Amino acid sequence: MLDLTALAELLAQPKKIVITTHHKPDGDAMGSSLGLYNYLVQLGHHARVIAPTDYPDFLAWLPGNEEVIIYTENTEASAVLIAEADIIFCLDFNSLSRINQMGELVGASSAYKVMIDHHLEPQDFDDYRYWNINACATAQLVYTFIANELGHREYINKDVATCLYTGILTDSGSFRLPNTTSDVHRIVAELIDCGAVNWRIHELIYNSASENRLRFLGHCLANCLEILPEYNTAIIAVNKADLEKFDVNTGDTEGVVNYALSIASIKLGAFIVERKDMVKLSLRSKEEFPANEICKKYFNGGGHRNAAGGQSGESFEATVEKFKSILPEYKKLLIQ
């Protein structure tokens, strides 16, 4: 185990550092990873971000993106970096299963492992943990880790600030979710002072979709939305043929589930999608409803109370039916 002083001492000399994050990285995963990357390179470290899989194009403009290695496309180079690293930062995940095959390599590496994360129930694979489930984003924790714990506020330059702003923006649902506290707003104000151009980042993230993506969304809402009023639940279920028809790419499905929750009476929204190798579920809920409990108990997943995900090895149709069959168990909570 490491304490903060020992970690700060390690970071005082140039080190070989790998930063990694969960598979199918989102805005917070890439924003927090590249925010930390842009900080560490200023200190003279040899740092690389390794993403377990590809990620949406709307994140490709992030400063430092050109240096990111995608594990599935560069397995050998990634394995060497992981094996030779002095420190591995694990950002926005807390179980090695969330980084797929990379989990074994990270587990086997003799590097110090530093977890910075805000998900429930962390597993013990780390040597140092900076973890807080009340944080709205891992990027928020990266900010306080650099500025408060390491006392390096002056290293939050425009690139670091831009990446961290992106993580907080996306994981807080554009400053909308309950964990968007006044502290979050104060940090975001700091990030703008450090050079993050807030309106431009919103443009790049939210107004950069393809025509296909908008037509796909239209299709989801017009043809794939099912409301179950007796359970205050809305399901958007999309099969493989539709994904192909609309040429849906990584990231194009992001946010679709939120439309299910936009109906006033709906407490639980589900987006169920038939991917190549599995059926993936994204659940969103309002207030106290524990979406993560359903994912953990029935779909080999987890997440936060109001935003969780999981998967199923059963067929698409069977997964939709399984999801519906679970709802009676939660009826009391859903109709309160």
Phi (first) and psi of residue 292, to 5 degrees: -65, -30
Q: Binding of ligand 5GP at residue 164 (CB under 6 A)?
A: no
Chain mean position to CA 165? 14
Q: Which is nearer to ligand 5GP, 52 or 302 (CB)?
A: 302
Residues within window 175-214 making contact with ligand 5GP, judged by CB under 6 A = none
Residues within window 88-117 making contact with ligand 5GP, judged by CB under 6 A = none
Phi (first) and psi of residue 88, to 5 degrees: -120, 120
Minimum CB distance to ligand 5GP, residue 303 (Å) = 3
Chain mean position to CA 311? 16
Q: Binding of Mn ion at residue 28 (CB under 5 A)?
A: yes
Give which of Mn ion, ligand 5GP, none residue 138 binds (C-beta under 5 to 8 Å, depending on kind): Mn ion
Judged by CB under 6 A, how many residues of this single chain contact ligand 5GP? 11
Residue nearest to ligand 5GP (CB): 309
- Per DSSP, the chain holds a count of helices (H) and strands (E) of 14, 12
Question: How many Å apart are CA 162 and CA 160, to the nearest integer?
Answer: 6
Residue nearest to Mn ion (CB): 28
Task: Quickly list DSSP for 195-224.
Answer: T--HHHHHHHHHS---HHHHHHHHHHHHHS
How many CB atoms are located within 10 Å of the residue 236 CB?
Answer: 22
- 291-298 and 316-326 helices cross at what angle (nearest 10)? 130
Give, for 47, the enclosing helix (H) or strand (E).
Answer: strand 46-51
Nearest to 253 by CA among 237, 265, 232: 237
Let me know how long the chain is. 336
Q: Which is nearer to ligand 5GP, 267 or 304 (CB)?
A: 304
Minimum CB distance to ligand 5GP, residue 259 (Å) = 13
Q: Which is nearer to ligand 5GP, 50 or 136 (CB)?
A: 136
Instruction: Return the residue of 32, 282, 285, 306 that touches ligand 5GP, per CB under 6 A.
Output: 282
What residues form DSSP beta bridges with 91? 21, 116
Question: How many Å apart are CA 20 and CA 80, to the nearest integer?
Answer: 14
Question: How many Å apart are CA 196 and CA 327, to the nearest integer?
Answer: 43
Q: Hey, is 234 helix, strand or coil? A: strand
Instruction: Return the residue of 50, 59, 92, 253 that touches Mn ion, per CB under 5 A.
Output: 92
Instruction: Return the residue of 119, 142, 224, 260 that touches ligand 5GP, per CB under 6 A.
Output: 119
Give which of ligand 5GP, Mn ion, none residue 45 binds (C-beta under 5 to 8 Å, depending on kind): none
Nearest to 71 by CA among 50, 47, 48: 50
Q: Which is nearer to ligand 5GP, 136 or 147 (CB)?
A: 136
**Near ligand 5GP by CB under 6 A, which window of 102-110, 137-145, 176-184, 307-315?**
307-315
Instruction: Return the residue of 311, 314, 322, 333 that touches ligand 5GP, per CB under 6 A.
Output: 311
Q: Binding of ligand 5GP at residue 302 (CB under 6 A)?
A: yes
Q: Binding of ligand 5GP at residue 310 (CB under 6 A)?
A: yes
Give which of ligand 5GP, Mn ion, none residue 157 binds (C-beta under 5 to 8 Å, depending on kind): none
Minimum CB distance to ligand 5GP, residue 98 (Å) = 6
Give residues in contact with Mn ion (CB under 5 A).
Answer: 28, 92, 138, 171
